[in-house]
Structure 1
Amino acid sequence: MRNEMHRDAAGQTTTIRPRTEADLPGAAAALVAVHAVDGYPVEGVDAPLEWLSPAGVLQAWVAEKGGEIVGHAMLSRPQGEDAVEMWLEQSGDTADHVAVGARLFIAPEARGEGLGERLMRTGFDYARDHRLRVVLDVMTKDKTAIRLYERLGMQRLGTARHAYGEGQEIDAVCYVSPAPEA
Structure 2
Amino acid sequence: MKKQVLFIQGGGDNGYEADAPLADSLQAALGKDYELSYPQLQSDKSAPDFGWPRQIGEKINEFKEDLILVAHSVGASLLLKYLSETKITKNINGIFLIATPWWSGDKDWVQGLKLQEDVGNKLPEHIPIFLYHSMDDEVVPFDHLAIYARKLPQAAIHAIKNGGHQFNNDLQFLAEEIQKLKDLN
Which structure has more RCO (C-alpha within 8 Å, separation ≥ 6)?
2
The structure where strand makes up a greater share of residues is 1
TM-score computed with the length of structure 2 as normaliser:
0.33
TM-score computed with the length of structure 1 as normaliser:
0.34
